[in-house]
Amino acid sequence: MTTAVDDEDFQAILAQTRQFVRTAVMPREQEILAADRVPDDLREQAKKMGLFGYAIPQEWGGLGLDLAQDVELAMELGYTSLAVRSMFGTNNGIAGQVLVGFGTDEQKARWLEALASGAVASFALTEAGAGSNPAGLRTKAVRDGDDWVISGEKRFITNAPVADLFVVFARTRPADDAGPGIAVFLVPADTDGVTVGAKDAKMGQEGAWTSDVSFADVRVPAGALVGGSEDIGYRAAMTSLARGRIHIAALAVGAAQRALDESVSYAATATQGGTPIGNFQLVQAMIADQQTGVMAGRALVRDAARLWITDEDRRVAPSVAKLFCTEMAGKVADLAVQIHGGSGYMREVPVERIYRDVRLLRLYEGTSEIQRLIVGSNLVKAAQRKLG
Ligand SMILES: Cc1cc2nc3c(=O)[nH]c(=O)nc-3n(C[C@H](O)[C@H](O)[C@H](O)COP(=O)(O)OP(=O)(O)OC[C@H]3O[C@@H](n4cnc5c(N)ncnc54)[C@H](O)[C@@H]3O)c2cc1C
């Protein structure tokens, strides 16, 4: 397996990221939470480190990490407020990978270098009634001379309030035998007719922003159609989401590791009746379950990333990894609150934030139910194909 970034260079990037997370971000988690904002100096530091383009190829100005390296980085980033990763998550993941995998050279040259140096791309797929089933989306793109005119409403779009570019999925025709009729367009955020709604008030991940985005007769040139083909959109979305699922799984492992570490250090020191609570075997059992989940998750994420790179499995393994790791992180975070007792319910305690932060991981980029459907249906279809 050859990679763009050799192991020595990658270890340096990983060590620098770990140091950024542990020494620059962790002391400011409460500040991020209270202000619902990642401070500008941390954003600038992340830009300087190349984190806005770590998964963008080097020829386009990024660090060029492959998915096996991406997941190691994600496990570090998951250790702190998930909002920090979210600042550049759409650039490296769902939005950026549409350009990397499906853009023309001209489109890559126009956008990828900008993203790698800190511009922000948002992935605009979801609509009311078209979340788990994006094939049902209703945003329309109509050809008008050399231009396309886009109209529709998107919701829950991560980074929309700070986006420079929207990667917008729109229907150019009704679904037919040739495919779902969905294309994808590159729409600069300052294009006439683009309106970004108010920031959503969310359960967790304070500092990561989402909002509605409306497109009212937004005119873009023919060159905005990704890959120059109307038939690329749905495949681009599915491929980008599948890759993203392995990344989200890794993020979940990082968050679960943090919840475990917080639990162990609390259990080792907090006392009841003079006895450290970690001496109680029922508390030890909770810690054992956390550790088991984290180790299993880490191994699964690494395996899924390897299978993606070798192209052995880009369908079932990403969903397996996302399903297991995000559900695992939810259970580990829940146990962490339990181990902390009443203090686990208090705002200033990290496990309270983790409990809310990780809840989202089971919802976006495909809910747990959708992952189960992907895994189950693919296994059954493969068996049926074998039988002829
Ligand atoms: C904070 C946040 C950030 C997001 N960021 C983005 C973004 O950047 N870009 C973007 O495009 N989208 C984004 N999303 C949208 C996200 O991907 C969707 O919310 C998610 O896919 C679920 O879709 P939905 O909300 O329409 O729920 P629904 O699809 O309506 O799901 C509701 C329930 O029904 C279940 N369900 C649905 N269909 C089936 C089925 N066929 N079989 C069994 N069960 C089913 C679901 O599993 C779930 O339990 C974000 C969402 C949130 C909350």
Per residue in 274-331, pLDDT tens?
999 999 999 999 999 999 999 999 999 999 999 999 999 999 999 999 999 999 999 9
Which residues are marked as active site?
365
Q: What is the fold of 234-387?
A: Butyryl-CoA Dehydrogenase, subunit A; domain 3 (1.20.140)
Alpha carbon nearest to ligand 1 atom 7, residue: 157
- Tell me which residues of the chain have a pLDDT lower than 50: 1
**pTM for this predicted structure:** 0.97
Residue 245's pLDDT is what?
Answer: 98
Evaluate whether 54 touches 92 at the Cβ level (below 8 Å).
yes
Hey, what amino acid is at 129?
Answer: G
Atom of ligand 1 nearest to the CA of 125: 11
3-state secondary structure the chain: CCCCCCHHHHHHHHHHHHHHHHHHHHHHHHHHHHHCCCCHHHHHHHHHCCHHHCCCCHHHCCCCCCHHHHHHHHHHHCCCCHHHHHHHHHHHCHHHHHHHHHCCHHHHHHHHHHHHCCCCEEEECCECCECCCHHHCCCEEEEECCEEEEEEEEEEEECHHHCCEEEEEEECCCCECCECCEEEEEEECCCCCEEECCCCCCCCCCCCCEEEEEEEEEEEEHHHEHHHCCCCHHHHHHHHHHHHHHHHHHHHHHHHHHHHHHHHHHHHHCEECCEEHHHCHHHHHHHHHHHHHHHHHHHHHHHHHHHHHCCCCCCHHHHHHHHHHHHHHHHHHHHHHHHCHHHHHCCCCHHHHHHHHHHHHHCCCCCHHHHHHHHHHHHHHHHHHHHC
Tell me which residue has its CA closest to atom 50 in ligand 1. 156
With a 6 A CB cut-off, is 364 part of the ligand 1 pocket?
yes
Q: Which CATH topology does 122-232 take?
A: Butyryl-CoA Dehydrogenase, subunit A; domain 2 (2.40.110)
Can you give the residue ranges of every domain in the chain?
7-119, 122-232, 234-387
Q: Which of 182, 251, 364 has the most ligand 1 atoms within 8 A of CB, as the residue to mutate?
A: 364
| CATH number, domain 7-119 | 1.10.540.10
Residue 203 alpha carbon to ligand 1 centre in Å:
15
pLDDT score of 4: 83
